A and B are shown apart, each in its own frame.
Chain A
Amino acid sequence: MAAAARPLVSVQPLPASLNDMATDHVTTVALPDVMKASIRPDIVNFVHSNISKNSRQPYAVSKKAGHQTSAESWGTGRAVSRIPRVSGGGTHRAGQGAFGNMCRGGRMFAPTKTWRRWHRKVNVNQKRYAVVSAIAASSIPSLVMARGHRVESVPEMPLVISDSAESIEKTSTAIKVLKEIGAYPDAEKAKDSQAIRPGKGKMRNRRYISRKGPLIVYGTEGAKLVKAFRNIPGVDVANVERLNLLKLAPGGHLGRFVIWTKSAIEKLDSIYGSFEKCSEKKQGYVLPRSKMVNADLARIINSDEVQSVVKPIKKEIKRASLKKNPLKNLNVMLKLNPYAKTARRMALLAEAERVKSKKEKLDKKRKPVSKEELAAAKAAGKAWYKTMISDSDYTEFENFTKWLGVSQ
């Protein structure tokens, strides 16, 4: 981790008219490592939704509700449904259905109980991760603006003011200070947004709603600025040692506008430690390491180190072609077996020869025979017949006399 030079945050001086300590030169503070932690909106969302359940008060219906009757089912045979009915007589209520969630005056389905699990346990490390993420997000002006705070006139993010602010006692001076450091538009936005809540929440002790303004974080215990700032609409105050995720990421959305005092920001290092050094206040706690130290993917890909090793782009891409059957497709066959061409040619020629010769033979036979040929054919036939009927013409007969046993 390159943690050689940490950027410096300048501390905004407060005007000398407000207090005795006139800071002529602008002091600087090193940026605490917390502000460089990884920003994990998923963890913040999860932890926020669970932690916000912890301040709930139980609600339930009365356990006797709907059961304070001695109703019995009339059973079958009375041409009415079998729901338990109220016994007795002389009143409308007699004979009416009871006990069921479908009955008027019956108990509800699954009556709510007070022993519902109201509170959620979240792992300590997860809670710390969420807070650290929220602090880191509060130092990025884009995220703060995206959340909706008006920080266009703020001189620097994270906004640090000198410790003389901690001794402010009057709200009027507090407002003046906010105006000086450019945080007043945000507080003004919160004040203008005060409205009556729409819906039933009005009559359930949640009558007014408004936007959130800046969060002032102070370092020294018992600072008077708490009383000065707490009455300004939208402004929250918190001690560094007790930072609340519900205040740092209201609604589960990262990027609350935070105003730090100098002592507060100097304490952050000791409270949360750094990426290597353990925290002093939280035993054995080290800031969470991110999966990617440098998350700027585009920059990494286009850097020299990567581009120099990367293979060049393939312009011609070879794609798999359709398989064609060589037995049916001659060209494909030739690719595999070039001799197939001549073999096939020979075969075709031989076939043509055969056909021709056969045709000639047949033509010859089908041709009408001339007289001479006919006479010659007849004579030849007669001669052959003569050979067949004359035994004496059998020349090699003597050879077989021995084993044939012929008398003649």
Chain B
Amino acid sequence: MQHDEVIWQVIRHNHCSFMAKITTGNFCRNPYNITGVCNRSSCPLANSRYATIRDHDGVFYLYMKTIERAHKPNELWERVKLPRNYEKALEIIDKHLMYWPKFLVHKAKQRLTKMTQMSIRMRKLALKTREKIMTTPRKEIKRESRREKKAETAAELDKSIEKELLERLNGGLYGDIHNILPKHFNKILDENELQAVSEDEEYEEEPEIEYVQGYDDLEEEDDIEDFGGFAIDESLKNNDDAHEDEEGMDSVDGKRVKRRSESAHQKMEEDERRKSKKKAKVLVEVEHEDASERQRATF
């Protein structure tokens, strides 16, 4: 009736709900299994005399079952509390499993050893603070970054900072120093300057001297060649003159003379360059011919 062999045959070859097959081997999910492997000698169902070590809230218990109670699943497992001291626990195991098969005694002690080691390690780890890896779903991460960008643009941080600083400035927080932030200082000056100019124009309508830029004078010139690449330089020079002197015609005449001499000088320079180039070309040709002759000779 209660034959271990029969039970094992049925369990192993037909179906056992505790057996878990992995690529590395067969394992047993039964909580009372001493090794965790699905084996003839480790199966708690197929061995009527069996022992395990289990832990409950950190306390280790030795569980034993005998064939006398095999038909009463309620009272099947008898448990003995093991002391915290490792050596004493080993002694208790020896005492209770005294005439039991050596396999079970050995495995019970092995299991106790392993469990004590694990509990020591767990206690040590609990003292250290370990970072917990929290996963965020990708959707959320993307959503948050998108919203962050939008919020940044909506906040108009620059303007609010400006306002705040201006208030502070006006409030006299910085004393008499006005150009703490040069960029903003210049910008405000520009804005205020324009306002001042416009105000001036409204009030004072005296456009006395109009400072004309060099471009107008250039248009009177005949030679367009002189414009060419030199126009820009001359205009710059003219601007400088305008700032320094408030003379009109004298400076312009001077410019004309300057221009002509400059243009003539520059023309000569050009011719020289061309000549030198021609000479260079001749020389080059000779060399080439020699080179080519040499090559032919080799052929």
Measured between alpha carbons, how far is A219 from B45 in the docked complex, in Å?
Answer: 31
Q: Is the CB of B46 within 8 A of A142?
A: yes
Q: Is the CB of B72 within 8 A of A156?
A: yes
Q: Is the CB of B10 within 8 A of A143?
A: yes
Segment at the interface with A among B13-21, B51-59, B220-228, B231-239: B13-21
Q: Is the CB of B11 within 8 A of A143?
A: yes
Measured between alpha carbons, how far is A294 from B13 in the docked complex, in Å?
Answer: 20
| Residues on B with beta carbons closer than 8 Å to the beta carbon of A265 | none
Q: Is the CB of A253 within 8 A of B74?
A: no
Interface status of B5 (Cβ within 8 A of chain A): yes
Interface status of B115 (Cβ within 8 A of chain A): no
CB nearest to B12 among chain A residues:
A146
Within 8 A of A (CB), among B1-38: 1-7, 9-11, 13-18
Interface status of A152 (Cβ within 8 A of chain B): yes
Q: Is the CB of A140 within 8 A of B1?
A: yes
Q: Is the CB of A153 within 8 A of B6?
A: no
Within 8 A of B (CB), among A314-369: none
Main secondary structure of the interface of B (DSSP, over half): loop
CB nearest to B47 among chain A residues:
A142
| Residues on A with beta carbons closer than 8 Å to the beta carbon of B165 | none
- Asked if A41 meets B73 with Cβ closer than 8 Å, knowing A143-B7, A146-B45, A295-B3, the reply is no
Measured between alpha carbons, how far is A153 from B74 in the docked complex, in Å?
Answer: 5
| Residues on A with beta carbons closer than 8 Å to the beta carbon of B18 | 146
| Residues on B with beta carbons closer than 8 Å to the beta carbon of A294 | 3
- Asked if A146 meets B71 with Cβ closer than 8 Å, knowing A41-B10, A137-B10, the reply is no
| Residues on B with beta carbons closer than 8 Å to the beta carbon of A274 | none
Q: Which of A35, A145, A155, A182 sits near B45, CB closer than 8 Å?
A: A145
Interface status of B70 (Cβ within 8 A of chain A): yes
Q: Is the CB of A146 within 8 A of B10?
A: yes
| Residues on B with beta carbons closer than 8 Å to the beta carbon of A35 | 1
Within 8 A of B (CB), among A277-323: 294-298
Q: Is the CB of A152 within 8 A of B73?
A: yes
Within 8 A of B (CB), among A165-210: 182
What distance in Å separates the Cβ of B74 from its nearest Cβ neighbour in chain A? Answer: 5
Measured between alpha carbons, how far is A152 from B71 in the docked complex, in Å?
Answer: 11
CB nearest to B16 among chain A residues:
A146
What distance in Å separates the Cβ of B229 from its nearest Cβ neighbour in chain A? Answer: 78
Interface size on A, residues (CB 8 A): 33
Measured between alpha carbons, how far is A200 from B3 in the docked complex, in Å?
Answer: 43
What 0/1 readout, one digit per residue, does chain B (65-84) give for beta carbons within 8 Å of chain A?
00000111111100000000
| Residues on B with beta carbons closer than 8 Å to the beta carbon of A145 | 17, 45, 73
| Residues on B with beta carbons closer than 8 Å to the beta carbon of A153 | 73-74
What distance in Å separates the Cβ of A133 from its nearest Cβ neighbour in chain B? Answer: 10
Interface status of A235 (Cβ within 8 A of chain B): no
- Asked if A141 meets B70 with Cβ closer than 8 Å, knowing A146-B10, A296-B5, the reply is yes
Measured between alpha carbons, how far is A145 from B31 in the docked complex, in Å?
Answer: 12
Q: Which of B1, B6, B17, B72 sits near A148, CB closer than 8 Å?
A: B17
Interface status of A39 (Cβ within 8 A of chain B): yes
| Residues on B with beta carbons closer than 8 Å to the beta carbon of A152 | 73-74
What distance in Å separates the Cβ of B17 from its nearest Cβ neighbour in chain A? Answer: 4
Interface status of A36 (Cβ within 8 A of chain B): yes
Q: Is the CB of B1 within 8 A of A297?
A: no
Measured between alpha carbons, how far is A294 from B2 in the docked complex, in Å?
Answer: 10
| Residues on A with beta carbons closer than 8 Å to the beta carbon of B15 | 146-147, 253
- Asked if A297 meets B73 with Cβ closer than 8 Å, knowing A146-B17, A147-B17, the reply is no
| Residues on A with beta carbons closer than 8 Å to the beta carbon of B46 | 142
Name the residue among A39, A140, A298 with the largest chain B CB count within 10 angstroms: A140
What distance in Å separates the Cβ of B291 from its nearest Cβ neighbour in chain A? Answer: 72
Q: Is the CB of B5 within 8 A of A295?
A: yes
* B interface with A by C-beta (< 8 Å): 1-7, 9-11, 13-18, 45-46, 70-76
Q: List 21 A-B contacts (CB under 8 A).
A: A41-B9, A41-B10, A41-B14, A45-B14, A137-B10, A141-B71, A142-B7, A142-B11, A142-B45, A142-B46, A146-B11, A146-B16, A146-B45, A152-B73, A155-B75, A182-B74, A254-B10, A295-B5, A296-B3, A296-B5, A297-B5
